[in-house]
Structures are given as C-alpha cells and as structure tokens.
C-alpha cells in the first residue's frame, strides 16, 4: 500500500521527533518569560539588575534603554575537499573550525519610571538569539519572586 510507513520507519520518525524535542533551549524560554514578568519593574530596579544600558534615549514621556549581549563560539568542522584516501595518492582536506556569533539587543521601553515593554532584536535569529537575550535579563528575573530562574540556569562558576 502506498503512503504507509513500515514499522522500522515509524520508529525512526518517533525517535527523531523525540530527539529534536530534547533540543529545547531553557535560556530562550526564560528570556521569553522575562518579556512579561518584568513589565512594571521600576527603573531603579532595572538599572540595579541589568546595569547601565549601552544606549539610552527619550521620546516624549517614554524612555528607551537598550542593552547588548554577544558571544563568539567555535566548534570543529570538516574542511575537506574530497579526494582519494588510499595509498599512494594521499588525501586532500582536513579539519578546521567554524566560528559563529550570537547576539541580542534588548530594548526596554519605560513610561513613568516603569518597564512597559521589552523587545528583542539582533542579527542572530531564533533560539540562539533568545538564549543570548537571557544573559541580559537573567539577574532581573531573580528580582521577580514568582518567575525566578530555575537552578539549572545559574551560571557555572
């Protein structure tokens, strides 16, 4: 019958789905929680937990504080160009390193001295950017009793 999956194919799909589901990024989840949990935070508390913003401006009765966090990381990669590996021909290729950059810009909008909105941006995308945004809001989340970060999110020392 066309369109059906064999038993082993079905098991492979289930395993793949389970493995991909295990790749969640808890830091990204906490960054998303912060977008709601920090609403109403007083300006003084924000400055004490997030520090001095990289950029600051005002427009009318609004203040905008922008914080930036970035990191570079590298990992081994295959830089091979193909070729024959048997004697006597030798080989071409080798190992190298890929370098990636992950960044986040978090802009806090304040009205009447309290956080009204948090917007994340940056050149990175998806969970990697949100995970980097967590580095900005991490200390502030601990100031919100009902939304304190999970112990597994504490930085390694």
pLDDT tens digit sequence for 23-55: 578 999 999 999 999 999 999 999 999 999 999
Please check whether residue 99 lies inside any domain of the structure: yes
The pLDDT value given to residue 11? 41
Average pLDDT of the chain is: 77
Coil, strand or helix: which one is 137?
A: helix
CB 81 within 8 A of CB 93: yes
Average pLDDT over residues 115-124: 91
SS3 60: coil
Which helix (H) or strand (E) is 118 found in, with range? strand 114-121
Beta strand residue intervals within the chain, DSSP E: 55-59, 62-78, 95-111, 114-121
Specify if 127 maps to a domain. Answer: yes
pTM greater than 0.75 (yes/no):
no
Share of the chain above pLDDT 90, in %: 47
Strands 114-121 and 62-78: unpaired
Give whole-number Cα distances, 95 to 73, 76, 77, 78, in Å.
16, 7, 6, 5
Which of the pair, 81 or 10, is modelled with greater confidence? 81
Q: Per the structure, how many domains does the chain have?
A: 1
Q: pLDDT, tens digit, for every residue of 50-75?
A: 999 999 999 999 999 999 999 887 77
Q: Is residue 122 part of a domain?
A: yes
Helix, strand, coil percentages for the chain (3-state, nearest 5): 35, 30, 35
Domain with 133 in it:
26-80+90-142
Reported as a pLDDT band with limits 50, 70 and 90, residue 84 is: low
What's the half-sphere exposure (Cβ side, CA atoms, 13 Å) at 104?
24
Beta-carbon-side half-sphere exposure of residue 121 (alpha carbons within 13 Å): 6
* pLDDT for res 93: 53
* 147, part of any domain: no
């Amino acid at each position: 019958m066309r369109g059906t999956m064999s038993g082993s194919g079905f098991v492979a799909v289930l395993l793949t789905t389970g493995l991909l589901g295990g790749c969640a990024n808890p830091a990204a989840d906490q960054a998303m929680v912060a977008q709601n949990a920090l609403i109403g935070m007083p300006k003084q508390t924000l400055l004490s937990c997030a520090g001095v913003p990289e950029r600051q401006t005002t427009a009318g009765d609004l203040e905008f504080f922008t914080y930036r966090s970035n990191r570079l990381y590298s990992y081994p990669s295959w830089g091979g160009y193909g070729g024959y590996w048997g004697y006597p021909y030798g080989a071409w290729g080798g190992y190298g390193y890929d370098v990636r950059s992950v960044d986040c810009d978090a802009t806090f909008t304040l009205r009447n001295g309290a956080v009204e909105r948090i917007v994340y941006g940056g050149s990175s995308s998806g969970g990697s950017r949100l995970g980097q945004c967590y580095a900005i809001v991490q200390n502030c989340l601990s100031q919100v009793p009902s939304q304190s970060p999970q112990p597994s999110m504490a930085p390694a020392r």
